A and B are shown apart, each in its own frame.
Chain A
Amino acid sequence: MDISTQKPQSPPPLPQPSVTEQKRAARGATRPGDRIFLGLTRGSGILLLVIMAAIAVFLTYRASLAISKDEGNFLTTFEWNTGAVPPVFGIAVLAFGTVVSSIIAMVIAVPIAVAIALFLTHYAPRRLRGPISYVIDLLAAVPSIVYGLWGALILVPHLNGLFGWLNDYLGWTGVFSWQDGPPRSMLTVGVLLAIMILPIITNVSREVFRQVPQMHEEAALALGATRWEVIRMAVLPFGRSGVISASMLGLGRALGETMAVATVLSPSFTIQTSLLDPGGGTFAQNIASKFSEATEFGRDALIASGLVLFVITLLVNGAARAIIARRKEYSGANA
């Protein structure tokens, strides 16, 4: 029991480090263990940079070989004909398809993932949390080709109803009109990608929400906040940057997803104004579909498209970091 509070006591004198110890501390690591660990960590960091640089150099070099011979405009051409003489190819369709399908996936997946994460951390009874988290982890472990097969065999036939409904009620917008053909469109890809990125966004968001300090939630409760108001005042603002990071992880997967997209999409080098009409393509899907039968030059052209995907991913990550950094002083990291 602590009774020292009764009388003010001077704290016990701290042991003073000797002069040599102070010097050693100032100079940094000198012990073998410290040196080895420093070397390992620094080496890992440098290795990462070297790998990134190597990928960038490889992509840029091979891409430049192809682009220099491209008769069309590489950015705006709606065609991919690397075998023609002279070759004509462009990434407009792929960029559109990649971005649009990923945006659809994010719009569907992020709200659901955040809702599941909030349910698991703040609403679900304790004994339900384990099983639900386990199922979500399982969802993350399913290989993408299995998602692709499931998408082609189960999802696509079942989307006929949804597409018809969207066409009936929202067809007038042009974005949700549906002429004909199987429901193997950008929306199909977006729905499938949403299911695929749901687990990672859910898991990371759940961890973030779980780390909200108890004292912030109690602060809100003590002011007379309901459960939802606690979430709005303390949990969501605190978890904001974490949810953005989680979404970026999901977006990264959506942008680069290959087999699942290739399995459910009817690819074509056209941009459909309607999300429901079949056609279009994504970078990764296009590379996967064409790579095995491509000539040396055709491969360089595909690599050029891969370089664009690389750049888009970098830009997206940079934008996410900028969003997080903008409100850093409010992030709660210094609380």
Chain B
Amino acid sequence: MAKRIDVSGLTAYYGSHKAIEDISMTVEPRSVTAFIGPSGCGKSTFLRTLNRMHEVTSGGRVEGKVLLDDEDLYGAGIDPVSVRREVGMVFQRPNPFPTMSIFDNVAAGLRLNGSYKKSELGDIVERSLKGANLWNEVKDRLNKPGSGLSGGQQQRLCIARAIAVEPNVLLMDEPCSALDPISTLAIEDLIGELKERFTIVIVTHNMQQAARVSDRTAFFNLAAVGQPGKLIEIDETERIFSNPSVQATEDYISGRFG
């Protein structure tokens, strides 16, 4: 189920622009790892290299290794489509399929895989919605469009959609930045529950959120605008926020930056 991610020497480009340089880290299974850092430091780009979504952007390419347990995601003969079926993703803005019902949204990934029995589909959808703490709010209107839900509900619908296919890893790209504080709290609680089953990586601009939800925190920074982003340090969240080993990290989290 939950797998370990081992990244070594990863560099990502947009065309000729180097967005992140030489990043190596290990993400532990069944834990939450948060990426923090200033805008443009490449933390979202790095996140997107973990499920090969980076190369969807035109000009996007990657050098280096990403091992999911022992399998290199960028190895020869690895199909990016199958990588994305193993590594789920939740985006900054809730993006349920507007043309699908709530039920169909959750079932979308399963239908792509085709790896389910017809009779099981309803159960899996129910389990996924329960897993995303959304079941009680939508169980009476599963056939209504997902776009009719509130922003926070839509984001939980997207989480339900992502976990329905039982991925090994769940990537979250600023999942709460478009949400109000109450919805944010609901998602944060959910993340705490989901880490029992999944390896979770979350990018956030909100340092309190990183402190609240994550077990480990990685701080990214860039030397100057136009320079590639780099991993400054990764450590236990507690230590990053109390006694980081690099001065830049301390400056950033205490707001004395730049």
The answer to whether the Cβ of B64 comes within 8 Å of any Cβ in the partner chain is no
Interface stretch (choices B5-13, B93-101, B132-140): B93-101
The answer to whether A222 and B145 touch across the interface, beta carbons within 8 angstroms, is no
Q: Known pairs A6-B207, A215-B91; list 14 more (Cβ under 8 Å).
A: A3-B257, A5-B206, A216-B95, A220-B108, A221-B56, A221-B84, A223-B84, A223-B112, A224-B109, A225-B112, A234-B97, A329-B148, A334-B148, A335-B96
The answer to whether the Cβ of B25 comes within 8 Å of any Cβ in the partner chain is no
The answer to whether B145 and A330 touch across the interface, beta carbons within 8 angstroms, is yes
Bits for A303-331, please: 1 = Cβ < 8 Å to B, else 0: 00000000000000000000000010111
Q: Which residues of B (44-93) have their CB < 8 Å from a CB of A?
A: 51, 53, 56, 58, 81-85, 88-89, 91, 93
Interface core residue of A220, A224, A327 (most chain B CB under 10 Å): A224
Given the complex, which residues of A lie within 8 Å of B88, measured CB to CB? 222-223
Bits for A1-19, please: 1 = Cβ < 8 Å to B, else 0: 1110111000000000000
24 A-B pairs with CB atoms under 8 Å apart are A6-B207, A215-B95, A218-B95, A219-B158, A219-B161, A222-B91, A222-B162, A223-B84, A223-B85, A223-B88, A223-B109, A223-B112, A223-B161, A224-B82, A224-B83, A224-B165, A225-B81, A225-B84, A238-B99, A240-B99, A329-B145, A330-B99, A333-B98, A335-B95
The answer to whether A219 and B112 touch across the interface, beta carbons within 8 angstroms, is no
A-B contact count (CB 8 A): 107
Given the complex, which residues of B lie within 8 Å of A330, measured CB to CB? 98-101, 145, 147
Cα separation A226 to B148 with both chains bound (whole Å): 27
The answer to whether A237 and B147 touch across the interface, beta carbons within 8 angstroms, is no
The answer to whether the Cβ of B150 comes within 8 Å of any Cβ in the partner chain is no
In whole Å, how far is A30's beta carbon from the nearest beta carbon of chain B?
36
Cα separation A216 to B97 with both chains bound (whole Å): 6
**For residue A329, which residue of chain B has the nearest CB?**
B145
Cα separation A220 to B70 with both chains bound (whole Å): 26
Task: Give the number of residues in A that approach B within 8 Å (Cβ atoms).
Answer: 33
Interface core residue of A6, A216, A327 (most chain B CB under 10 Å): A6
The answer to whether B98 and A222 touch across the interface, beta carbons within 8 angstroms, is no
Bits for B228-258, please: 1 = Cβ < 8 Å to A, else 0: 0000000000000000000000001101011
Given the complex, which residues of A lie within 8 Å of B205, measured CB to CB? 2, 5
In whole Å, how far is B198's beta carbon from the nearest beta carbon of chain A?
15
The answer to whether A219 and B95 touch across the interface, beta carbons within 8 angstroms, is yes
Given the complex, which residues of A lie within 8 Å of B96, measured CB to CB? 219, 335
The answer to whether the Cβ of A229 comes within 8 Å of any Cβ in the partner chain is yes
The answer to whether the Cβ of A83 comes within 8 Å of any Cβ in the partner chain is no
Given the complex, which residues of B lie within 8 Å of A224, measured CB to CB? 81-85, 109, 112-113, 165
Cα separation A56 to B101 with both chains bound (whole Å): 43
Cα separation A219 to B108 with both chains bound (whole Å): 10
In whole Å, how far is A111's beta carbon from the nearest beta carbon of chain B?
20
**For residue A327, which residue of chain B has the nearest CB?**
B99
Given the complex, which residues of B lie within 8 Å of A7, measured CB to CB? 255
Interface core residue of A5, A215, A223 (most chain B CB under 10 Å): A223
Cα separation A335 to B149 with both chains bound (whole Å): 10
With A221-B56, A223-B108, A233-B97 as known contacts, state yes or no: A5 contacts B207, CB within 8 Å.
yes
